[in-house]
Chains A and B, each alone.
Chain A
Amino acid sequence: EVQVVESGGGLVQPGGSLRVSCAGSGFSFKTYGMSWVRQAPGKGLEWVSHISDSGYSTYYADSVKGRFTISRDNSKNTLYLQMNNLRAEDTAVYYCAKKRGTSGVYFDYWGQGTLVTVSS
């Protein structure tokens, strides 16, 4: 059974840092690109970042570019999102999502999400 499970969310002060993780299982993790998608409370979905299967290529939304870094460790089947200089508007549930296939970046498996709250 394919599973992606996020962890590491929590409360952080504005300007602080946090790293969230996503563990994949039940599929060949190193074969698929992965993304982070977030959802602020009561709001819609916002794509945050994507990393290719090898980790060589990364992409970011303008709203997080220069502050967030996506990475992966294929030996540990784990995806990461390092978030620095956090702002109140970064408060959201952060979902890890698996790219469905070899072409087109859309997502067939999502985790349950991890809540990041930025507040003093």
Chain B
Amino acid sequence: AIQLTQSPSSLSASVGDRVTITCRASQGIYSALAWYQQKPGKAPNLLIYYASSLESGVPSRFSGSGSGTDFTLTISSLQPEDFATYYCQHFNNFPLTFGGGTRVDIK
């Protein structure tokens, strides 16, 4: 199974900061990667698919990049509603796997 390693596992940032989260796959997955945001007690919400395509309704401050084994999620200017946990997920083949998550806290 393909393993996804996210870094950092947590970070503290201020409103307005630029935030970058990394997801590394244990083998090449082309661009078959999605990013989700999850707030406490809520279901995940799709942000990005195929590594860089922005889901409808998601603010443009979110962006994704990468292909092969290395991917990034960037929040260009952190907003109060962005404090949450972020997960990457590959869909190159089965079994699907998720990264361990990155918790973004208020500094």
Answer yes or no: are A and B bound together in one complex.
yes
- Determine whether B84 belongs to the interface, using a CB cutoff of 8 Å to chain A: no
Minimum distance in angstroms from B8 CB to a CB of chain A: 14
Residue B83 CB within 8 A of the other chain? no
Q: What band does the interface of chain A fall in when counting residues whose beta carbon is under 8 Å from B?
A: 20 to 34
A80 to B32, CA, bound (A): 27
Cβ-defined contact, A106 with B43, below 8 A: no
Partner of B96, one of A47, A62, A95, A100: A47
List of B residues within 8 angstroms of A108 by Cβ:
46, 55
The interface on chain B, measured as residues whose beta carbon lies within 8 A of the other chain's beta carbons, has a size of 23
CB <8 Å contact, B91 and A46: no
CA of A110 to CA of B45 in the docked complex: distance in angstroms?
A: 8
Overall SS of chain A's interface: strand
Contact residues of A between 25 and 62, Cβ < 8 Å to B: 35, 37, 44-47, 50, 59-62
70-107 of chain B: CB within 8 A of chain A: 87, 89, 91, 94-101
B49 near A106 with CB under 8 A, answer yes
The distance in angstroms between the C-alpha atoms of A49 and B96, with both chains bound, is: 9
Please indicate the chain B residues that have their CB under 8 angstroms from the CB of A105 in the complex: 91, 94, 96
**Is the CB of B34 closer than 8 A to any CB of chain A?**
yes
* B interface footprint on A6-33 (CB within 8 Å = 1, 0 otherwise): 0000000000000000000000000000
**Cβ B49 vs Cβ A104 within 8 A:** yes
Interface residues of B (CB under 8 A from A): 1, 32, 34, 36, 38, 43-46, 49-50, 55, 87, 89, 91, 94-101
The chain A residues found within 8 Å of chain B, CB to CB, are 35, 37, 44-47, 50, 59-62, 95, 100, 104-108, 110-113
Could you show 13 A-B contacts with beta carbons less than 8 Å apart?
Answer: A35-B96, A37-B98, A45-B98, A50-B94, A62-B1, A95-B44, A100-B46, A104-B49, A105-B91, A106-B34, A106-B89, A110-B45, A112-B43
